[in-house]
Chains A and B, each alone.
Chain A
Amino acid sequence: QVQLQESGPGLVKPSQTLSLTCTVSGGSINSGSYYWSWIRQPAGKGLEWIGRIYSSGSTNYNPSLKSRVTISIDASKNQFSLKLSSVTAADTAVYYCARQFSTLPPDYWGQGTLVTVSS
């Protein structure tokens, strides 16, 4: 059974960089045709795709965030990471990592981690 777990600081100051890591267990991050995604959800609001990375390292970013986002993969640790720069209060949200197979929507999600942007 694949499991994903987000980790990282719960509080980030405005203008700084938000950094989160997703640790994958129960399967290799390199196996098969899997994409690994970051999705966020502000409190009481809907879901927004941030971006995704393929096991090869190729990425797709949401154009609305592209200038600030970097997603990377560390196969040796079975992890992938999110960096979001120049954060503001609007970036306060629960951040989820998720796995998708090929062209299908994500079937496995982490439990989510709340990141608050505040001084």
Chain B
Amino acid sequence: EIVMTQSPATLSVSPGEGATLSCRAGQSVSSNLAWYQQKPGQAPRLLIYGVSARATGIPARFSGSGSGTEFTLTIGSLQSEDFAVYYCQQYNNWPWTFGQGTKVEIK
């Protein structure tokens, strides 16, 4: 299975600042890369699919980029509701796999 590695494990950010999260795939996943946001006690919420396409209702401050094995989620000007855990996920090869997550916490 494809191993997804996220960095950093924890990111401390002040509200209003931007954040950059990284995700590396163990082999190419083409453009089949998604990002999810998860808050405590909630199911993951799809933010980005196809590397850079925002899911329905996702604000423009969330953007994705990358290709092949290296991917980035950028959050511009963090709002209070953005502090959460973020997971990348590949859906190129079965079984689909997730990264271990990056926790974005308030600095």
Shortest C-beta distance, A93 to chain B (Å), equals 13
Asked whether, in the complex, the Cβ of A46 is within 8 Å of the Cβ of B94, the reply is no
Task: A60 to B100: give the CA distance in the assembly, Å.
Answer: 22
Query: In chain A, what residue has the closest Cβ to B53?
Result: A104
What 1/0 mask marks residues of chain A from 94 to 113 whose CB sits below 8 Å from any chain B CB? 00101000011111011110
What 1/0 mask marks residues of chain A from 47 to 69 whose CB sits below 8 Å from any chain B CB? 11100000000001011100000
B99 proximity list for chain A (CB < 8 A): 46
Asked whether, in the complex, the Cβ of A63 is within 8 Å of the Cβ of B95, the reply is yes
A110 proximity list for chain B (CB < 8 A): 43
Asked whether, in the complex, the Cβ of A105 is within 8 Å of the Cβ of B89, the reply is yes
Contact of A103 among B89, B91, B95, B100 (CB under 8 A): B91
Query: In chain B, what residue has the closest Cβ to A47?
Result: B98
User: With A62-B95, A104-B49, A105-B89 given, is the CB distance from A47 to B44 under 8 Å?
Assistant: yes
> How many residues of chain A are within 8 Å of chain B by beta carbon?
19
Shortest C-beta distance, A13 to chain B (Å), equals 26
Shortest C-beta distance, B17 to chain A (Å), equals 26
Asked whether, in the complex, the Cβ of B43 is within 8 Å of the Cβ of A109, the reply is yes
What 1/0 mask marks residues of chain A from 18 to 53 whose CB sits below 8 Å from any chain B CB? 000000000000000000000000000011110000
Asked whether, in the complex, the Cβ of B44 is within 8 Å of the Cβ of A111, the reply is no
Task: A62 to B96: give the CA distance in the assembly, Å.
Answer: 8
Contact of B43 among A48, A49, A96, A105 (CB under 8 A): A96
21 residue pairs bridging A and B, Cβ less than 8 Å apart:
A46-B87, A46-B100, A46-B101, A47-B87, A48-B98, A49-B95, A49-B97, A60-B94, A62-B95, A96-B43, A96-B44, A98-B43, A103-B32, A104-B50, A105-B34, A105-B91, A106-B46, A109-B43, A109-B44, A109-B45, A110-B43
Mark B residues whose CB is within 8 Å of A.
Answer: 1, 32, 34, 42-46, 49-50, 55-56, 87, 89, 91, 94-101
Mark A residues whose CB is within 8 Å of B.
Answer: 46-49, 60, 62-64, 96, 98, 103-107, 109-112
